[in-house]
Every structure is written in C-alpha cells, then in structure tokens.
Structure 1
Amino acid sequence: MTAAARHATRGGVTTVRDLGDRGYLALALRDAVAGDPTLPTIVAAGPPITTPGGHCHFLGGAIAGTAGTAGGAAGVRAAVRERAERGADIVKIMASGGNLTPGTRPERSQFGVAELRAAVDEAHRLGLPVTAHAHGTQAITDALAAGVDGLEHVSFMTADSVEPVPDAVLAAVVARRVALGITIGVKPVPGFTPPPAVLSRLPLLHAGGRRLYEAGAVITAGTDAGIAPIKPPDVVRWAVAQLAGIGMTPVDALRAVTSVAAAVCGLGDRKGRVAPGFDADLLVVAGDPLRDPAALHDIRAVYVRGVPVSH
C-alpha cells in the first residue's frame, strides 16, 4: 500500500480516498503521512461493510444478519461504531454485489432499507458520512431512501444490460447533492481490457452518466484505482479525458478530479484549488489540459503539501 501511495503521488495524485482496505491498513498509512512527504493525504474508510460471502467479504468487513431484520440493523450499527472508534474518515457499505467478487451479482441488493438507514443514522450520529457501493436500481433507490451522502458506481446494471436513470432517482441525487463516484478511468495497457460485462454495457453506462451530468448531479471520477494493470494508482489522469464520454466539458472534467473531489472528500476548505491558505499540492505539466488532456501525462513536477516529489 505504501508503494501504491507513492506511485499515486509520482503521478500527480496528491490526495486519495480509500474506500476499502483489509485490517484498517489504510488508516495506519494515513497516520504515517505526517512523517513522510512522499505520501498523499489519505481519507480512509477501513474494510467496507458487507454481508457474509458478499461483495469484497475477503477484506474482512462482513457482518452477520439477514437483510431487513432487526439483527441485521444492529450488526450494521456495531460495524459503524467499530469504524468510528478506529478513526475512519468515512463509512463505506456495499448496498449491492459487484463484478470483483465471485458469487455476487452487481444487480442484486445485499442490504435492505432498514439496514442501510441504520448505517446512515449511526454514522451521522458519530459525525461520519456514508457512501454506498450500489449498481442495481433497487440498491441505489434503497440507499437514497436511507439518506446516504454518496453513491459509488451508480450504474443501474441489470443481469444483462443497464436500466435508464429513473426520474425519481435523478431528482433525488440532484436536489440532495448526493456525491456520485462514476466508475471511469482506464489506462491503455496492451493485453488488458475491462471485463466483458462492463465493455458490453459501456454505451448505456455513458448514457446514464450523461443524463446525471446534464441534470446537474455532483460527479467525481470513482476510478477503482489499484485493482488491475489498467487501473494503476494514478489512473485518474486518464479519467479526465474519458469523462468526455458522459458529455463533460474539459473544465468540468478537471474540476471533477480537483475541487469537486476535494469537497466530496470533506477537504474542500484546503484541497483541490490553487488559492491562498490552501495546501500546496501541485501537479505541473507541459501543455494545457483544457485543450489536450494528454498533457496531464507530461509531468514536470509534483508538490505534496509544498514538498517536491520525484517522478
């Protein structure tokens, strides 16, 4: 994880949000940042809350209890309290299954509204935001009903396609300013491609993202950095150009990975902008990324909290 964090800074990523680790390792790395100027600022969730055998259960965040039962809600509350006691910055809960975990399905819900609401209520009581991994429409709808602060992926996947964004969901995410981490960002690597289940749905996924963007939703690039060679720790550099696929203008794409992302991470008062009083986190490139996003790969210097980082 330390090597991945340094890879990120060398690529110009000066702040990261880790929404799923094993054994709270990201929190330990976060706390080491003060003594190591080569590490980015880290916002950490710890192991994501999931069901036994559920999405990313191998990270150790599975709880007992059946969806919709009082026991399940109590288990979720206890899991949130554990993360707060360990010093997590945010709570991540797997509202649906995902492509990464055999035996789970993205379109299937893992928690009911009662359990998701228990997570939100307990987290907010303890001063923590909640973001939900949610692919299927039911999981997205339930997470919104529960009052989550953010949604990751928000793809509206079905077993073999993608559903249009429902009007009620669109209205809710825009009115409540729910932060959407749209899954985007791929580095071209010979011999590697996204999973077929994703590639076949890409036009429909982009159409859904475009509708959310045009309606004024809060959108960041949820890159899933680090899970594959096509998603290295600094993959967000490629996401900027790819955000054009959902209709983003170049300036909105840059804001999505800087000032908007900083606000979503709870750091909008000191990150994401070049302004007096803000941290001196700087990526210096040759060229104008507003005209050519590929300029982001021509890195000349990186500064993390005012300290130059070799790249």
Structure 2
Amino acid sequence: MEARQLRYAVALAEHQHFGRAAAAVGIAQPPLSKQIAALEREMGARLFDRTTHGVFPTAAGEAFLVRAHRALAEMSAAAVDSGRAARGETGMLRIGFVASALLEPLPRVLVRFGRDRPDVRLSLHEMSTSRSTAALVSGELDIAIGLGSPRGPGVESLAWAPLGQDRLVAAVARSHPYAGQQTIGLGQLRRQHLIISAGEDEPAVIGTLRALFGADTGALEGATVARDVHTIAGLAACGVGVGLGPARMRMIARPDLWFCSVTPHTLLPDLTLSFRAAEGSPVLAAFLDTLRGHCADIDDALARQLGPG
C-alpha cells in the first residue's frame, strides 16, 4: 500500500466519480481506476460500489477511509515536524552554566532564543565549570558556559569561544568605610575580610586572585568562600566583608551595595562557551546563531575553529 493510493481513495470518496477524482489528484482516469482496483485486491474487499449514479464507499470502504484520513494526516504532520526539527525549531537543548552567566549575557540570549524558538525545550543546570565540562564531554549537556578554556579529559573534542572579558571589582555595604570610593587598591584589600567564590571549584578564578595578592595570601586564606556572585553580593551588603567578583556583578541591583573598581586593573578568566565540535544538532546551531547576535567576538572565534557560520 502506498500513500498515493490512500490519497486516491480519499479523493474518490469525496468526488464520487473517477473522472473528477482523477482531475483532483492530477492524473488521468485509467491510472486512478487501476490503483483503486489494486488497492481493493490488496485489502481483499471491494472498497467502492460503482453505480450509474456515482461511486460510493462500501462498508469496508468507509472503515478503510477512516484510517486513510488518519494516516494521511499523520504523514503530513510528520513532514511538518521533521522540517521544523531540521531547522532547529523543536527539540531540547541542555545547558550547564556558572551563576555569573545569569548576569550577562545569558538572560538576553535566553529571552531572544525563547522568543524565536518557543517550542525548543531548555534544560538549564547551574554548575561549576569543571562539572559542566565533564558533563559536556560525557554527552549529558549540549552546551557548557564556564570560566576559562575547558580543562580535563576529553576536552580535545570540544569547540569553545569566549563570551567576553571581565575584570575584578569589589562590593561593599553602603555603610562600609570604602562606600563612595571609585577604586580600591590592593593594600586596602589586604586589610579587609574578603568574600570570594571559586576555591577548588573554579581554579581559574582562585589562580587569578593568588597571582594578584602574590606571596601575601593571608587575606585569601582567611576569606569567606561563597557559592556564587549572588551570595558574594548578599554577604557584602550585610557588612560581612569586601566581596570580590566580576564587573558584571554590578548588574545586581541592590540599594545597600556599593561597587568599586580594583587597582591594579585585573582581568578575570573569560566567560566561555563550549560544545562538542562534531555535534550536528540543528537546535545547537540555532542557539549559536542567537549568541552571534549578542556577543560581538564569538563569531570570529567560532569561525576559526569551525569555519564560517
């Protein structure tokens, strides 16, 4: 049984005439008659009564036509669904990200992607860079957004690109003596109780801080270690100490918090997007297209690794 035979049977039932049905499906009448006869032989039953008043479905034909309509509708839906999937309009995208990515640029990207691809299901997981990289390599994630270039076993299979540079800033409570200052120097930081994230979880960040403080690491060793930038900001606002984090932390809008630039100017590890280089997912390709519209440098970085997008 072929799809065209289903269409011929449906057209014949609708027009009740071989000639009109043949014209409707765009073939001559003899081939249509032959196909209907072949279909009846295959079914082992007469599907249509041929009368002088027209051609009408038999009881067997009525039962057959119910299924034929359903089958044709499913075939049509399958063609639509496969086309949408090929264009990255449906499916799932699994993303692991560090918390600071929710400050910038992830919100703008997710809003735009959700508006353009409302039927793509997003599975979002906050996790450390090391965990998201391992999950990406093992196939548990499609995208990892972390700090610095990917490290660990299997990263040679990944493509990655920076989403933007950032620099170190300090956050203090509005009641803190440093509130109102535009900058905080390293000497001032050494005399304060610090609040930092990372530790073993993000070696790239703690490495940057150790390089900044040099041999005098006492302030770091006695620091309060927070889970993420949001906790750093919250603890700093409570007067616990001076929080250190990326400049995008300034996007945390709190009336009880003041931000200062840190001198010397200290670059932090790039926020980095990673994915499996051999991945051919249309949904991933669509997400990368959205990122290109929001992150100025990612297009060139991806082109160097994957070729022009």
Q: Give the structure-2-normalised TM-score.
A: 0.24
Structure with the greater alpha carbon radius of gyration: 2
Q: Give the structure-1-normalised TM-score.
A: 0.24
Between Structure 1 and Structure 2, which shows a larger proportion of strand residues? 2
